[in-house]
Amino acid sequence: MNFYIIIPAHNEEDFIEKTLMSLANQTLLPKRIVVVDDHSTDKTALVAARFSEKFHFIHLIKTTSEDTHLPGSKVIKAFYKGFETLDDDYDIICKFDADLIFPENYLEKVAEIFKNNPKCGMAGGVCTIEKNGIWEVENLTNPDHIRGALKAYRKDCFKVIGGLNTAMGWDTADEFLVQYHGWEIKTETSLLVKHLKPTGKSYDKTARYKQGEAFYSLRYGFWLTFIASLKLALKKGNPLLFYDYLNGFLKAKSKKYTFLVSEKEGVFIRTLRWKKIKRKYFK
């Protein structure tokens, strides 16, 4: 299978060398890696350039967006700057972060998942973070959710869902849309990826309100947003985030922000979310 990988990167000089080395040492090499240096002020581009000189399948392009690190819009706009440079000769398209270390068999195992299950539209491993010298699963989401840091899509699936949204919530919307269109998602828990920078480390308070806005844009409605906000705030160990998320939702509702999904897709999403909640808590 031909893997095309796009890595949006902003000030990742401390991590990107390890990411690229882990991908260059895969048992199944990708056909192409595009690093999109997005307005970095450090040596991110220099590191990527060194790899592009050494490995024919690694390429560097540069783009400039806003300085503020807003989750969702900035990273996916950079992703598409890389996507525009690619041809259509791929089987799997990946959006990876620039602060990961992949096990050497990662792409090989993901390829096996897609080959063994023609209905699988998205696959990936799980992120781990280091705590006191021990790498533990970064448990911010449900086990069946593939983190935005390491998404891999079958080409046909990627096209039918319309690609990725340039807004926070893209990495949840995509999974709902994959299922809405009849594809399956596979999280391979044996593929442990080291996440070198904790999720949300560079987000400011403005960005944290974006989570509530994302719940609104996914058409969760108030009560699903209430439950999801409380759950995420507790998982992050900061109950006060619950109020940020709810405020973000209410702000988006009052200003009638744009939805990421259609009304029909929203019904599907709410039904699916309530089914999972009932199955988990009301067995």
Identify the CATH number of the domain in which residue 115 sits. Answer: 3.90.550.10
- Do 135 and 38 belong to one domain? yes
User: Rounded distance, CA 39 to CA 36, Å?
Assistant: 9
What confidence score (pLDDT) does residue 168 get? 84
Arithmetic mean of pLDDT, 104-124 = 98
Tell me the range of 113-122, 141-150, 162-171 where mean pLDDT is highest.
113-122
Element containing residue 222 per DSSP (H, E): helix 222-235
- Do 243 and 188 belong to one domain? no
What confidence score (pLDDT) does residue 205 get? 60
What confidence score (pLDDT) does residue 204 get? 55
CB 154 within 8 A of CB 92: yes
Arithmetic mean of pLDDT, 190-215 = 79
- Asked, for residue 107, whether it belongs to a domain, the answer is yes
- Do 69 and 168 belong to one domain? yes
- Quote the DSSP letter at residue 255: T
- Asked, for residue 189, whether it belongs to a domain, the answer is yes
Q: Which of 37-46, 179-188, 202-211 has the lowest mean pLDDT?
A: 202-211
Q: What is the mean pLDDT of the chain?
A: 91
- Do 37 and 155 belong to one domain? yes
pLDDT confidence bin for 72, thresholds 50/70/90: low
- Do 119 and 157 belong to one domain? yes
What confidence score (pLDDT) does residue 28 get? 98
What confidence score (pLDDT) does residue 70 get? 58
- Do 248 and 139 belong to one domain? no
What confidence score (pLDDT) does residue 132 get? 87
Range of the domain at 276: 205-281
Q: Which of 164-168, 174-178, 213-217, 245-249 has the lowest mean pLDDT?
A: 164-168
Residue with tokens 């882990």: 22
What confidence score (pLDDT) does residue 249 get? 95
- Do 98 and 220 belong to one domain? no
- Do 48 and 185 belong to one domain? yes
- Do 111 and 39 belong to one domain? yes
- Do 100 and 18 belong to one domain? yes
Q: What percent of the chain has pLDDT over 90?
A: 77
Classify each residue of 129-165 as buried b or exposed e, where b means 16 or more C-beta atoms within 10 Å of its C-beta.
beeeeeeeebebbeeeebbbbbbbbbbebbebbebbb
What confidence score (pLDDT) does residue 38 get? 93
- Asked, for residue 159, whether it belongs to a domain, the answer is yes
CB 144 within 8 A of CB 185: yes
Element containing residue 279 per DSSP (H, E): helix 263-281
What confidence score (pLDDT) does residue 217 get? 95
Q: Which of 91-95, 100-104, 142-146, 235-239 has the lowest mean pLDDT?
A: 142-146
pLDDT at 270 over 80: yes
What confidence score (pLDDT) does residue 65 get? 72
Strands (E), the chain: 3-9, 32-38, 58-63, 92-96, 100-101, 120-131, 134-137, 150-154, 184-195
pLDDT at 272 over 70: yes
User: Rounded distance, CA 86 to CA 174, Å?
Assistant: 21
- Quote the DSSP letter at residue 134: E
pLDDT at 282 over 80: no
Q: Which of 15-29, 151-165, 222-236 has the lowest mean pLDDT?
A: 222-236
What tokens were used for 256? 């009638």
